[in-house]
Amino acid sequence: MEVPIRGGTDGARLSYMGLPCPNLCTGGVNFHGVHEYIPAQALTKMTEVLVNLLTRQ
């Protein structure tokens, strides 16, 4: 018998407790599986997004 579980992030818990946290994905595939990976293009794009967010005025 499989019992479904609800996934989540530390940020979701912190947001629930009153500390807003963004949940940014790096574009990974097959999370927590034996074939989990992150395409280089997705990682590069997330780097661009983060630099943009951090350098906004």
Neighbours of 54 (CB within 10 A): 7
What total of structural domains would you count in the chain? 1
The answer to whether residue 7 sits within a structural domain is no
Does residue 11 lie within any of the structural domains?
A: no
State which residues form the domain around 34: 25-57
Whether 5 is in a domain gets the answer no
Cβ-in-10-Å burial (0-12, 13-18, 19+) of 35 comes to exposed
* Global confidence as pTM: 0.60
Decide if pLDDT at 44 tops 80. yes
- What's the CA gap between 2 and 28, in Å, rounded? 25
The answer to whether position 1 is within a domain reads: no
Q: What is the pLDDT of residues 6-38, one digit of tens each?
A: 667 888 888 989 999 988 888 889 888 899 999
For residue 10, tell me if it sits in a domain: no
27 close to 38: Cβ distance less than 8 angstroms: yes
